Amino acid sequence: MLGFGWSAADLWLWLAPLVVAPFVGSFLGVLVTRLPRHRPVVVARSACETCGTSLAAFELIPLASYLAQRGRCRHCGALIAPFHVAIELGAIAVAVWVLSAETNPDRVWIDCVLGWILLALACIDWRWMLLPDVLTLPLVAAGLVLTLLSQPDAVALHAAAAAVGYIGLRGVAWLYRLARGRDGMGGGDAKLFGAAGAWLGPAALPPLLLLAAVLGIVMAGVLAVSGRRLSATTALPFGSCIAAAFWLLWLHGGGMAWLV
Ligand SMILES: [Zn+2]
């Protein structure tokens, strides 16, 4: 036992996500920039986006290498996009958030992995206005497997929630298209909504949609205040809002029972 009544295993459980997070964030940065352009994510080594020089092992250390090189490529001097540092900080923030909010030690890693995937999805939708199937569909499966392992009786209900979530949002998109004559929501949004159904169950779908819509309005407000001209046709990354709402309900759903 260490001080404060903590065992070494406890300490490791708390430290490991924080140690791993910057490296996960570094990988997510690569994922977000390459996946939507169909460039290899895992096979290719990380390289400078400007000169293409492969990065040396020490340059792959997140945050530290950025600071050591003052945010520039060692070879060509091109600025490294601050986005890469932002997503590394984001991944650390996810781990800190989980460690401060999660009371069940068995769920720490599940929470972190979900948070990191949702962070990647939110960033991809923000930058590219799409949600890749390679991320959303495994998320549906993972939600159902997790339900099977933790509460087997609820699997059918969660599967139904995934289907209802997907079909429901598809229906909303179809109605929008009928009313406005153009697409207002992508198919990826419906798949992510279905994934949230698989993880959270049917009762969470209405508050999830409400929360995502509120976040969308807040986002539009922030964009308007920051000087972006908004009109009825301005595209907003609604998938980012669904990802954020999914995360809040997963981690704080118990405290949001008043919403359900
Ligand atoms: Zn370079």
47 by DSSP, 3-state: which? strand
Residue 226 sits at φ, ψ, to 5 deg, of -80, 10
Condensed to tens digits (0 to 9), the pLDDT of residues 102-122 reads 888 889 999 999 999 999 999
Distance CA 170, CA 11 (A): 45
Condensed to tens digits (0 to 9), the pLDDT of residues 66-114 reads 888 888 888 888 887 788 889 999 999 999 999 999 888 889 999 999 9
Distance CA 240, CA 221 (A): 15
Condensed to tens digits (0 to 9), the pLDDT of residues 163-186 reads 999 999 999 888 888 888 877 777
Condensed to tens digits (0 to 9), the pLDDT of residues 135-168 reads 999 999 999 999 999 999 999 999 999 999 999 9
Residue 115 sits at φ, ψ, to 5 deg, of -60, -40
Share of the chain above pLDDT 90, in %: 50
Residue 24 sits at φ, ψ, to 5 deg, of -60, -45
Encoded amino acid at 102, one letter:
E
Ligand 1 centroid–CA 75 distance in Å is: 5
40 by DSSP, 3-state: which? coil
Residues that place a CB less than 5 A from ion ligand 1: 48, 50-51, 73, 75-76, 78
For the chain, the structural domain boundaries read 1-104, 129-260
Contact 193/211 with Cβ under 8 angstroms? no
Q: What is the DSSP letter of 43?
A: S
